[in-house]
Amino acid sequence: MNVPLWTIPALPLAGFLLNGAVALRAGARRAARASEAWRAAHPDAAHDDDHGGGDAHAAHDGHASHGSADDHGSGHGHGGAALPRGQRLFHGVVGVASCGLAAVAAFANLVPYVKASLASPEGIAPVVQHAYLWMAAGGLSVDIAFRLDPLSAMMLAFVTLVGTLIHLYSVGYMQEEEGYGRFFAYLNLFMFAMLTLVLANSLPMLFIGWEGVGLCSYLLIGYYYDKDFAVAAGKKAFVTNRVGDFGMILGIFGIISLFGTADFSFLDKARHAMVNGGSPVTVYAVCLLLFLGACGKSAQFPLYVWLPDAMAGPTPVSALIHAATMVTAGVYLVARCSAVYVLAPDAMTLVAWIGAGTAVLAATIGLAQNDIKKVLAYSTVSQLGYMFLACGVGAFGVGMFHVFTHAFFKACLFLGSGSVIMAMHHEQDMRAMGGLAPKIRQTFLTMMIATLAISGIPPLAGFFSKDQILGAAFATGHTVLYVVGLGTAGLTAFYMFRLARMTFYGPFQGTKEAEGHVHESPATMTVPLWVLATGALFAGFLGVPAALGGRNTFVRFLEPSLARVPEHEVPHSTEYLLMGLSVAVALVGIGLAWRWYGQATATSAVPSAAADAFYRKTGALGPIVANKWNVDEGIEALVLSPFRKLGTFLWRGFDALFIDGIVNASAFLVELTGDLVRFFTTGNVRNYALAFSLGVLAFALFVLVR
Amino acid sequence: MTFPFPASDLLVILPELVLTQLALGILLWATVVRKGREATLAWVSIASLAAAAVLIPVAARLSGPLPRAAFGGMLTLDRFSIFFKVLVLLATAVTILFSLKFVGTSSYPGGEYYALLLFSAVGMLFMASGTHLVSIYIALELMALSQYVLAGYFKRETKSVEAAAKYFVLGAFSSGVLLYGISLVYGAAGSLDLGDVARSLAATPRSSLLGVGIVLTASGMLFKIASAPFHVWAPDVYEGAPTPISAFFSVGPKLAAYAIFARIFFVGFGPRAGDWAPVLAASAALTMVVGNVGALLQQNVKRMLGYSSIGHAGYALLGLLAYASGTDARGENFGLWAILIYLAAYLLMTLGAFGLVVLLEAKGYATESVDDFNGLSKKNPLAAAAMLVFLLSLAGIPPTAGFVGKYFLFSAAMKAGWPSLALLAVLMSAVSLFYYFRIARAMYLVEGEGELRWREEPAVAAAVAVCVAGTLLLGILPQPFVALAKSCLLP
A116 to each of A111, A123, B458, how far by Cα in Å? 9, 8, 55
**Which residues numbered 97-136 in A keep a CB inside 8 Å of some CB on B?**
132-136
Residue A378 CA to residue A398 CA, distance in Å, equals: 22
Nearest residue in chain A measured CA to CA from B380: A28
> Percent of chain A having pLDDT more than 70?
89
Nearest residue in chain B measured CA to CA from A685: B166
B105-132 core/surface letters (b: 16 or more CB in 10 A; e: else): ebebbbbbbbbbbbbbbbbbbbbbbbbb
**8 A C-beta contact, residue A311 and residue A318:** yes
Burial of A298 (0-12, 13-18, 19+ CB in 10 A): buried
Average pLDDT over residues A91-116: 90
Q: What pLDDT score does A69 carry?
A: 35
Residue A351 CA to residue A334 CA, distance in Å, equals: 9
Nearest by CB: A133 against B169, B177, B479: B479
> Percent of chain B having pLDDT more than 90?
46
A638, amino acid identity = L
Does residue B285 sit at the A interface (CB-CB below 8 Å)?
A: no
Q: What pLDDT score does A68 carry?
A: 34
Nearest residue in chain A measured CA to CA from B174: A692
Does residue B478 sit at the A interface (CB-CB below 8 Å)?
A: yes
Nearest by CB: B279 against A132, A670, A702: A702
Residue A187 CA to residue A248 CA, distance in Å, equals: 24
Mutate to test the interface with A, among B178, B215, B304, B328 (most CBs of A within 10 A): B215
Contacts of A145 (CB under 8 A, 6+ apart): A128, A129, A130, A131, A200, A201, A202, A205, A263
Mean pLDDT of chain B: 87
Query: Nearest to residue A290, comparing CAs of A236, A215, A340?
Result: A340
Rg (C-alpha) for chain B, rounded Å, is 22
Query: Nearest to residue B11, comparing CAs of B48, B55, B74, B67?
Result: B55
- What pTM did the predictor assign? 0.72
Average pLDDT over residues A46-52: 45
Average pLDDT over residues A32-46: 74
Nearest by CB: A696 against B216, B290, B375: B216
pLDDT tens profile A564-615: 777 777 888 888 898 999 999 999 999 888 887 766 555 555 555 555 656 6
Q: What pLDDT score does A25 carry?
A: 84
Q: What pLDDT score does B158 carry?
A: 86
Query: Nearest to residue A210, comparing CAs of A172, A251, A168?
Result: A251
Q: Is the pLDDT of residue A76 over 50?
A: no
**8 A C-beta contact, residue A8 and residue A107:** no
Q: What pLDDT score does B331 carry?
A: 56
DSSP type of residue A227: S
Q: What pLDDT score does A492 carry?
A: 93
Q: Is the pLDDT of residue A489 over 90?
A: yes
Q: Is the pLDDT of residue B450 over 70?
A: no
Q: What pLDDT score does B9 carry?
A: 87
- Residue B453's pLDDT band, with cuts at 50, 70 and 90, is low
Burial of B449 (0-12, 13-18, 19+ CB in 10 A): exposed
Alpha helices per DSSP H over A424-511: 441-455, 461-475, 479-504
- Residue A64's pLDDT band, with cuts at 50, 70 and 90, is very low
> Percent of chain B having pLDDT more than 70?
95
pLDDT tens profile B239-249: 888 888 999 99
Q: Is the pLDDT of residue B235 over 60?
A: yes
Mutate to test the interface with A, among B174, B180, B219, B376 (most CBs of A within 10 A): B219
Residue A1 CA to residue B279 CA, distance in Å, equals: 65
B404 to each of B468, B471, B474, how far by Cα in Å? 15, 10, 8
Burial of A586 (0-12, 13-18, 19+ CB in 10 A): buried
pLDDT tens profile B159-207: 888 889 999 999 999 999 999 999 999 998 889 999 999 999 888 888 8
Query: Nearest to residue A340, comparing CAs of A390, A428, A269, A392?
Result: A269
Instruction: Kindly determine whether residue B214 and residue A703, on different chains, have CB atoms separated by under 8 Å.
Output: yes
A133 chain-B contacts, CB cut-off 8 A: 479
**8 A C-beta contact, residue A318 and residue A414:** yes
Q: Is the pLDDT of residue A662 over 60?
A: yes
Q: Is the pLDDT of residue B268 over 80?
A: yes
Residue B60 CA to residue B55 CA, distance in Å, equals: 8
DSSP string, A602-614: --SSS--HHHHHH
Instruction: Kindly determine whether residue A692 and residue B173, on different chains, have CB atoms separated by under 8 Å.
Output: yes
Nearest by CB: B173 against A673, A689, A704: A689
Residue B75 Cα, gap to closest chain A Cα (Å): 29
Query: Nearest to residue A391, comparing CAs of A197, A565, A149?
Result: A565
Q: Is the pLDDT of residue A54 over 70?
A: no
pLDDT tens profile B456-483: 678 888 899 999 999 999 998 888 888 8
pLDDT tens profile A285-340: 999 999 999 999 999 988 888 999 999 889 999 999 888 899 999 999 999 999 99
Q: What pLDDT score does A147 carry?
A: 93
Q: Extract the runs of DSSP E, i.e. beta strands, from B68-156.
A: 68-70, 75-77
Residue A149 Cα, gap to closest chain B Cα (Å): 27
- Phi and psi (nearest 5°) for B401? -60, -40
- Phi and psi (nearest 5°) for A133? -80, 120
**Which residues numbered 44-63 in A keep a CB inside 8 Å of some CB on B?**
51-52
Instruction: Kindly determine whether residue B215 and residue A699, on different chains, have CB atoms separated by under 8 Å.
Output: yes
**8 A C-beta contact, residue B296 and residue B273:** no
ipTM of predicted assembly, 2 dp: 0.83
Residue A619 CA to residue A610 CA, distance in Å, equals: 14
- Phi and psi (nearest 5°) for B363? -85, -5
Instruction: Kindly determine whether residue A702 and residue B169, on different chains, have CB atoms separated by under 8 Å.
Output: no
Query: Nearest to residue A194, comparing CAs of A228, A242, A231, A160?
Result: A160
Residue A706 Cα, gap to closest chain B Cα (Å): 9
A178 to each of A57, A183, B101, how far by Cα in Å? 16, 9, 43
Q: Is the pLDDT of residue A75 over 50?
A: no
Q: What are the residue boundaries of the structural domains of chain B, listed by start? A: 276-491
DSSP type of residue A483: H
Please give the residue that has the higher pLDDT: either A212 or A680.
Answer: A212
Does residue B211 sit at the A interface (CB-CB below 8 Å)?
A: yes
- Residue A81's pLDDT band, with cuts at 50, 70 and 90, is low
Burial of A672 (0-12, 13-18, 19+ CB in 10 A): exposed
